[in-house]
Each structure stands twice: as structure tokens, then as C-alpha cells.
Chains A and B, each alone.
Chain A
């Protein structure tokens, strides 16, 4: 008896083992007859068993409360501010504009002129160190950038100091990754990282009094960039 030659992918089997699959019955039936898929599925199950949940210790609530209490100032009700204009309403408009730009780009209209590989000045503060030695770092860098940009996109008013500091640090690291991507001939990645650098520079130089226009520009740039980052990371993963 022969079994079907079409196998399930590792991702489908991971989803199956995590009970996130939409096709659980079909996969179960297939695993009964397909040895390679059954082996892969068992290997995934074994991995999950190795990383099964360990007990979590109990935190000492009393100790933590008294440790924290000393740092808590007594708050006073803040005066009500007039918020007649919330910049987040502009997000749908920005998304529409972005879609239009993407359509133009897909249909062949170039939005950015092609730039020779070694003819671009890095406008940020330049690399801090040598080329990163850990190839997974750029993935982490993109993860961090995605999270930061998403957070910024959902923030109103001025950025808090931690976010600004994160943006500053990312900006410095970004310069290194741009250089590495160019040296490796990975121009798609370099281009996205350059766009990221521009947004990070904007965040790093947030004006003292954030006016509406600043948020609109930021939102438009960030939405497109998030899309590019996700595509880039997905491509990297597939490779």
C-alpha cells in the first residue's frame, strides 16, 4: 500500500502539536499512513515535552509591596486637558496613502531612485563596534524595531524617556546592520534598514513640543516600514 506523497510542512505539524491547526483531523489521518511526517511530528512533540512547563516559584508579595511603596509618590488628580484632536484618527488615512504608494511601486513607478551601493552616507552616528558576529542579531534587531514602532504608533503625546532611549540605541546598532547588509550585497535589507534609520532618527530627535504634523509624518513612515520589516523577516525565515 502506498501513502500520499504530499507531506505536511514543519509549520503545519507544529501547529498540529500545539493544537493550533485548522486541519487537525486531516493531519491525524495522514500521520497514520506517512512515516516521514509521523517521525517529524513525533520529533516536534518530543521537543515540546522537553520544554514542558516547570513550576514557577511564588513571589513574596509583602516584601515586594514594601520595597515598591517607598518609591510611590502620592498622586494628585491631573488637570483635565483639552484633547480635541487625537492624532490617531489619521492612521486610516495614512494606511490608504500607503496602499496607494504600494500600488504605484508595484506597477513600476519608482518611488526612490536607485542608489549606487557605496555612494550613500550614513547620517546616523555611525557604527559603535565592528560587524556583528552573531547572524541572528539582525533578526533580534528587527524584532525590537517592530515592537518599538508598534508601541510608538499606539502612543499619544510625547514619548517617554525609555522609548526614546531604545530608539537611540537601535539607531546606533542600525548603522552597523546597514553597513553589513551592503557589504553582503543584501540591498533589500539595507534599503529597509535605511528607512528604519530615518524613522529612528525622527524618534531620537522628537521636538520638545510635539506638534500634530510630526505625528502624522511619523505614523505614515512607520506603517509602511512595519510592513517592510515583516516581509523582510518572513523572507529571511523562508531562506
Chain B
């Protein structure tokens, strides 16, 4: 059986930086996965995971021995990912035009898909896939980074509310409200497409 996380941390702190690889092997994929859920793309997720591990390395002497490394590194990564998304969202002009273009595209393609004949199943499938991705992205962009994180962790990663609250360093009720707000916003964003849904 290999050494524990805490033993690996002790080795790093006494000058064995390669012992950090043990922690990377165990936790990098999970940190990357969570970062991917928040940022929505592989390149950003890798950058976030890298930065989180680098930051954690420099703060390793402040790591509390009663905590778990995975919770700690995840919290660092989430903060970095959320800050990254907030910085991006601050470019409001770009953000707004992106949504407008996406919405127009979604409307246009929706009309198109109704007219595509059955014998063109291949292109139709591609179009539908593209449309779905565009609509999903446009709807997701209506969420704040905090809401997006809480929602993806709850719904896609099956985190419990206490886990989300702990990871985001916020009270459980705030985490729960963030998830509810996110689902309500997403439902409203999709409502014009679904038709007949209660508002």
C-alpha cells in the first residue's frame, strides 16, 4: 500500500518535490473534471487544475492536517475557475452579442429543422446536435458562475448540498438557493423552445 496524502505532503515540505506527483496522480483528474464542469472546455479546465495545484503547493505549509487534501484542492480549483468565469463575463458587450447571435441561430435552426425532410437524417442529426449545444450554451450563459458551479456539481456530479456548500465555502442554504435559481433560469431559457410549459 502506498503512502497517504498527509505523508506525501510531509515529504514535499521536507524538500522532496517529486512526492507531489503522488498527490497529482490521485487528485488531478477529479480537480480537472470539476473545473471542466465550471468552465465548459478542456483547455481552461487544464489551466485551472494546473493553477490550483501550483497554488496549493505554495500554500502546502498552511494545509490543516485535520482536513482532506481533496476537499482543500477542490476548493482552491473552484475559486480559480469561478474567478476565471467572472473575468470573462465582465466583458459584457462580447457576452451580450454572443447570446444574441446564439439566440438568433437557435431560432433559425429550429425553424429549419422543422423543414428538413426525413431522408436527410444525417445532416438533420448534426444540425440538431449543433442546435442543442448552442441552446445549452446560451442557457448556461444566463447563470452566474456561482449558480453554474452549484448546479453542475449537484446535477452532473451528484454532489450533495452540504458538499457543495463546503466546497464553495458558503452556507448550505446559499448553495441550495444557487441550485434552485440555476434550474429556474435554465427552465425559463428553454421555455420558448419547449412550448406549452407553465411559466
Mutual binders A and B:
yes
- B154 neighbours in A (Cβ, 8 Å): 18
Cβ of A136 and Cβ of B181 under 8 Å apart? no
Who on chain A is nearest to B18 by CB? A69
Question: Are B142 and A134 touching (Cβ within 8 A)?
Answer: no
Q: Does B46 contact A59, Cβ atoms closer than 8 Å?
A: yes
Q: Is the pair A50, B15 in contact by a Cβ cutoff of 8 Å?
A: no
**Is B50 within 8 A of A68, CB to CB?**
yes
Please determine whether B156 and A143 come into contact, CB atoms closer than 8 angstroms. no
A110 within 8 A of B: no
Residue in chain B with minimal CB distance to A63: B46
CA A133 to CA B166, docked complex, whole Å: 33
Tell which of B33, B36, B95, B197 has the most Cβ of chain A within 10 Å: B197
Question: Interface code A40-55, partner B: CB below 8 Å = 1, 0 otherwise?
Answer: 1001101110111110
Q: Are B197 and A237 in contact, with the CB atoms below 8 A? A: no
Interface-facing stretch out of B20-28, B102-110, B118-126? B20-28
Closest B residue, CB atoms, query A40: B198
Per-residue A-contact encoding for B1-21, CB less than 8 Å = 1, 0 else: 000000000001111011011
Residues A58 and B29 in contact in the complex (CB < 8 Å), given A43-B191, A65-B21? yes
Q: How far is the CB of A58 from chain B (nearest CB, A)?
A: 7
Least Cβ–Cβ distance between A198 and chain B, in angstroms: 22
Q: B53 — which chain A residues lie within 8 A by C-beta?
A: 68
15 A/B residue pairs, CB under 8 Å, sorted by A: A47-B183, A52-B156, A53-B156, A59-B28, A64-B49, A68-B53, A73-B17, A74-B17, A75-B12, A75-B17, A137-B92, A139-B144, A143-B178, A146-B170, A162-B83
| Residue A78, interface by CB 8 Å | yes
Contact with A along B125-155 (1 / 0, CB 8 A): 0000000100110011010111100010011
A230 and B142 contacting across the interface, CB-CB below 8 Å: no
Contact of A36 among B151, B170, B174, B198 (CB under 8 A): B198
A residues within 8 A CB of B92? 132-134, 137
A10: chain B residues at CB < 8 Å are 180, 184
A48 to B45, CA, bound (A): 23
Do B187 and A143 have beta carbons less than 8 Å apart?
no
In the complex the two chains form, is B46's CB within 8 Å of A18's CB?
no
- In the complex the two chains form, what is the Cα distance from A50 to B179 in whole Å? 16
Nearest residue, chain B, Cβ from A139:
B144
Q: Is B68 in contact with chain A by the CB < 8 A criterion?
A: no
Would you call A51 and B24 a contact (CB within 8 A)?
no
Asked if A116 is at the interface of the complex by the 8 Å CB criterion, the answer is no
Q: Complex Cα distance A43/B197, Å?
A: 6
- Knowing that A139-B144, A150-B169 are A-B contacts, what are 5 other residue pairs whose CB atoms are under 8 Å apart, sorted by A's residue number? A18-B155, A47-B190, A73-B17, A140-B86, A230-B171
Determine the distance from Cα of A40 to Cα of B191 in the docked complex, in whole angstroms: 11
User: In the complex, which residue of chain A has the Cβ closest to the Cβ of B95?
Assistant: A134
Q: Indicate if B57 sits at the interface (CB-CB under 8 A).
A: yes
A212 to B168, CA, bound (A): 27
Structural contact, B169 and A64, CB atoms closer than 8 A: no
How far does the Cβ of B52 sit from chain A's closest Cβ, in whole Å? 10
B25 → A minimal CB distance (Å): 7
- On whether A61 and B25 interact (CB within 8 A), knowing A75-B13, A146-B170, A147-B170, the answer reads yes
A76 on the interface (CB 8 Å rule)? yes
Q: Does A72 contact B (CB under 8 A)?
A: yes
Cβ A48 vs Cβ B155 within 8 A: yes
C-alpha gap A143/B144 in the complex (Å): 8
Shortest CB-to-CB span from B198 to chain A, Å, is 5
B21 contact set on A, CB distance < 8 A: 65, 69
Contacts of A47 in B (CB 8 A): 183, 186-187, 190
